[in-house]
């Protein structure tokens, strides 16, 4: 075998080993976000864009989905800080979906104005309560309206049972999870407001 061929062959083998190593390590990274069974699924809701939106519309993107309401800006502010750190190309492949549980107040128009302020690419979803409830059930994301009563130093269990109390309050209790959904619409994990922005960024990039 001429020396030259041996050299090329050697190079090829080391390149193959390098590739395999990279695949192995990228799989290790992926393994940190396993596909979660029994949670999630497709849905269709009215959106801040004025048209109905389905999760399956974003099959080529990594979706960060969360339940909230516009009186609680912390989650959206945290996500928008993370999205700002992505490159324009990465941003193209990420979609933020904000499902409003405040169906009394958050209209598609209001959501549009609200979300555009944080990032014009973010989409808000709001619909009849029954439809929101259905999606919340798919994602095991509980929420409830809190009674408008003050609590002192010890937190009392707030009763939200009675109709009257439900109408008084404007504060909600809701799932704090940010669902991370891969390009095949599968739930891969959760972020929280406490998840460091760099960790969120790395994990989202690993799914792109």
Partner 1 sequence: MKMSRLMSGLLLGASLIFATPAFAADVTAEGAWSRAMPPSARVLPVYVTLRNSSAEDVSLVSVSSTYGQAELHETVMENDMMKMLAINAIVVGSNKQVQLAPMSLHVMITNLALDVPSKGSTLPITLTFDNGETISLDVKVTSQP
Distances (CA, A) of 10 to 13, 16, 24: 5, 10, 21
Figure out which of the listed residues 16, 23, 26, 117 binds partner 1, where binding follows CB under 8 A: 117
Stretch 156-185 residues interacting with partner 1 (CB under 8 A): 158, 170-177
Figure out which of the listed residues 14, 54, 148, 159 binds partner 1, where binding follows CB under 8 A: 148
Q: How far is residue 92's CA from residue 50's CA, in Å, rounded to a whole number? A: 21
CB of 87 to partner 1, least distance (A): 21
Stretch 125-144 residues interacting with partner 1 (CB under 8 A): 142
Figure out which of the listed residues 30, 36, 138, 193 binds partner 1, where binding follows CB under 8 A: 193
Which runs of consecutive H residues, i.e. helices, occur in 32-150? 74-84, 88-92, 108-118, 129-138
Q: How many CB atoms are closer than 10 A to CB 7?
A: 10
Figure out which of the listed residues 113, 129, 137, 184 binds partner 1, where binding follows CB under 8 A: 113
Stretch 24-83 residues interacting with partner 1 (CB under 8 A): 70-75, 77, 81
Does 114 bind partner 1 (CB under 8 A)? Our answer is: yes
| Size of site (CB under 8 A) for partner 1 | 35
Q: How far is residue 102's CA from residue 67's CA, in Å, rounded to a whole number? A: 10
CB of 90 to partner 1, least distance (A): 21
Phi/psi at 152 (5° precision): -95, -150
Nearest alpha carbon to residue 111 among 126, 91, 92 = 126
Nearest alpha carbon to residue 113 among 132, 131, 100 = 100
Q: What is the bridge-based pairing of β-strands 178-181 and 187-191? A: antiparallel
Q: How far is residue 152's CA from residue 139's CA, in Å, rounded to a whole number? A: 33
CB of 70 to partner 1, least distance (A): 7
Does 198 bind partner 1 (CB under 8 A)? Our answer is: no
Return the number of the residue (30 or 39) whose C-beta is nearest partner 1.
Answer: 39
Stretch that binds partner 1, among 37-45, 127-135, 153-161, 200-208 (CB under 8 A): 153-161
Residues that bind partner 1 (CB under 8 A): 70-75, 77, 81, 105, 110, 113-114, 116-118, 142, 146, 148-153, 155, 158, 170-177, 193-194
């Amino acid at each position: 075998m001429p020396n030259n061929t041996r050299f090329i062959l050697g190079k090829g083998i080391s390149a193959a080993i390098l590739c395999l190593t990279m695949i192995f390590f990228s799989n290790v990274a992926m393994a940190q976000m396993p596909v979660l069974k029994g949670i999630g699924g497709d849905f269709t809701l009215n959106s801040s864009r004025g048209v109905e939106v389905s999760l399956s519309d974003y099959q080529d993107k990594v979706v960060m989905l969360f339940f909230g309401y516009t009186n609680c800006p912390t989650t959206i502010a945290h996500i928008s800080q993370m999205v700002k750190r992505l490159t324009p190309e990465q941003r193209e492949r990420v979609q933020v979906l904000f499902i409003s549980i405040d169906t009394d107040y958050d209209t598609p128009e209001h959501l549009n104005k609200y979300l555009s302020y944080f990032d014009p690419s973010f989409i808000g979803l709001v619909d009849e309560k029954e439809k929101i409830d259905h999606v919340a059930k798919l994602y095991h994301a509980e929420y409830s309206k809190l009674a408008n009563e003050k609590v002192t130093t010890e937190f009392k269990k707030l009763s939200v049972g009675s109709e009257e109390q439900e109408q008084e309050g404007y504060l909600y209790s809701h799932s704090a999870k940010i669902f991370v959904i891969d390009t095949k619409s599968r739930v891969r994990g959760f972020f929280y407001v406490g998840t460091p922005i760099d960790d969120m960024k790395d994990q989202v990039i690993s799914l792109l």
